[in-house]
Amino acid sequence: MKKLINAILGVCVLAMLFICVRSITDQQDFNAEIVERENAVRARLIEIRLAQNAYKDQNEFFCDNWDTLIAWVKVAKLPTIIKQGVLTEAQMEKGMTEAKAAAIVARGDAAEIAANGLQEFRRDTTWVSLIDSLYGEDFNADELCYVPYSDAVDNEKKKFDLLATVGKTRSEELIPVMECGAEFEVYLSGESKLWAREAANKREIAEGMGNYPGLKIGIASGTQWNNNAGNWE
């Protein structure tokens, strides 16, 4: 009987040990998935920032519509300057600049070019695909607006909140501004109650500090701007 009791106790100890170990590893796996999701959302927001900055460079304002932005990204081209030759210290001491040298070469006067020692100087602008330049040929522009892991519960992708407008600085200067983000509940969701608890905890902490309850880039309100930095940066 004593041996039987000892055997049962031994099984119970092993079972408790297994439960404790499993509990620890489950929590570690959960924490790792939180990090994975947050990294994916940050990466997508950085992709959006690249697109919005390029859009503003060519249009003087940020885009406030996903369909418009995505359609533009698919066909947009960016200027790339092909450089050949450099200015010497002697040329620069005489007041020669990149802009002046490029203008002389563009005029095509062989005598003027030779007189300024610019026979090997070239600055040519070529236009390349925005996707190839910023993202790579495998980039799927149609996914730009969607929050990673937002379909964890209902298999329906959610879009990032997007806002583009005109802000006013303290000196009354008008500037284009934008912000784009996703709240915790959008990408920290799942069948387990742990996800809802995690999102709620993060929201409580963020709101308690007066911060956006999620991940976002840019600021589209107030009078202080952050050049579309992420709120994690």
For 105-125, write each residue's pLDDT tens digit.
888 899 988 989 888 888 877
Same domain? For 186 and 100 the reply is: no
Could you give the CA distance from residue 166 to residue 183 in angstroms, rounded to a whole number?
23
Give the pLDDT confidence score for residue 20 in this predicted structure: 45
Same domain, 171 and 205: yes
Q: Judge if 157 and 187 occupy the same domain.
A: yes
43 inside domain? yes
Mean pLDDT of 39-48: 98
Q: Which residue, among 43, 27, 32, has the nearest Cα to 215 in the 3D structure?
A: 43
pTM (whole model) above 0.85:
no
For residue 62, the enclosing domain spans 38-74+139-233
Quote the percentage of the chain above a pLDDT of 70.
88
Of 84, 82, 83, 80, which is closest to residue 129 (Cα–Cα)? 80
Q: What distance in Å separates the CA atoms of residue 229 and residue 233, rounded to the nearest whole number? A: 7
Say whether both 152 and 190 belong to one domain.
yes
Mean pLDDT of 119-138: 87
Structural domain count, the chain: 2
